[in-house]
Amino acid sequence: MELNPYIDHTVLKASATVDDIKHLCTEAKEYDFYAVCVSSYYVALAHSELMQTDIKVAAVVGFPLGSMTTRIKVLEAQQCVDQGATEIDMVLNIGLLKSGYHKIVEDEIRSIKKAIGSQNLKVIFENCYLTTAEKKMACKLSLNAGADFIKTSTGFGSGGATLEDVQLMKNEVGNHLQIKASGGIRDRKTALQYLDLGVSRIGTSSGIAIVSTT
C-alpha cells in the first residue's frame, strides 16, 4: 500500500527556520506527500516553494494551546487561506470545552469554517487532556459546526494519537467527518494500523521513515 497520499509532512517546532521549511517542501516534492503542515507564518513560503506542484499547504491555527480568542483565530485562518493554505488545522478551545461552554466552542469552529469557505477545516482535539465524554462532545460539536476533519492531537501535548481514541472518534462521526491521526506516529506499521481504522490522513514529521520502510 502506498502511504504517500496520506501524509501531511510536518514541521511545527518552535525552532523551525526558513531553511527547515524549504527543506520540508523539497522532501514533500521528492516523496510526493499529500501536504505539508506548517505554522501560519510560513504559509506564504511553503506555498511559493510548492507552487508548481499538486502538494497542498496545511496551516495550524490557534496552535498549540487553542486558547486564543475566536476573532484572532478567524483572522489567522483567513490570512493563511489568502496566502495559499488550502487546509486549516485549528486547535479547539480546550479549556472552554472542559468548562462545559459547548456553544462557544461550536460557534468558534463554525466561524472559522465560514471564514475559510471551501477549504478543509480540521479540528484538533488534544485528546490527552480530555475525558471520554469530552472527546465525544468534541466530535458532536465539530460535526454540528460543519468541520471537514477531526484530529487527535497537536503533537505538543502530554500524549499523541492512540488507536483507542481514533476508534472512539470513528464511532462518533462515522463517515460524516474524516479523521487525521497526529502525534507520535513514526513507522509504517503504526500508520497502517490507523489507516485500517478509517483514518484519512496522518500528520507526522517522520513521513520519510514511514514511506521508506516495507
Q: pLDDT per residue over 151-164, tens digit each? A: 999 999 999 999 99
SS3 label, residue 38: strand
Give the H/E segment covering residue 24.
helix 18-31
- CB-facing half-sphere around the CA of 203: CA atoms within 13 A: 29
Distance CA 143, CA 137 (A): 10
Q: Report which residue type is found at 154.
A: T
What distance in Å separates the CA atoms of residue 32 and residue 89, rounded to the nearest whole number? 21
Report how far residue 77's alpha carbon sits from residue 116's, in angstroms, rounded to the nearest whole number: 7
Q: What is the CATH T-level fold of the domain 57-212, as seen in this structure? A: TIM Barrel (3.20.20)
Per-residue pLDDT band at 213 (split at 50, 70, 90)? confident
Full-model pTM: 0.97
3-state secondary structure string across 163-212? HHHHHHHHHHHCCCCEEEEECCCCCHHHHHHHHHCCCCEEEECCHHHHHH
Measured distance CA(203)–CA(88) in Å, rounded: 13
Catalytic (active-site) positions: 89, 151, 180
What band does 191 get if pLDDT is binned at 50, 70 and 90?
Answer: very high
* pLDDT tens figures, 73-84: 999 999 999 999
Question: Measuring CA to CA, which residue among 87, 168, 89, 96 is closest to residue 127?
Answer: 168
CB 192 within 8 A of CB 186: no
Backbone dihedral region of 37: left (phi > 0), alpha (psi from -120 to 50 degrees) or beta? beta
Residue extents of the structural domains in the chain: 57-212
Per-residue confidence (pLDDT) for residue 9, from 0 to 100? 98
pLDDT of residue 98: 98
DSSP helix/strand/coil, 15: coil
In the predicted model, what is the mean pLDDT of residues 88-99?
Answer: 98
Q: Does the pLDDT at position 140 exceed 90? A: yes
Amino acid at 39: S
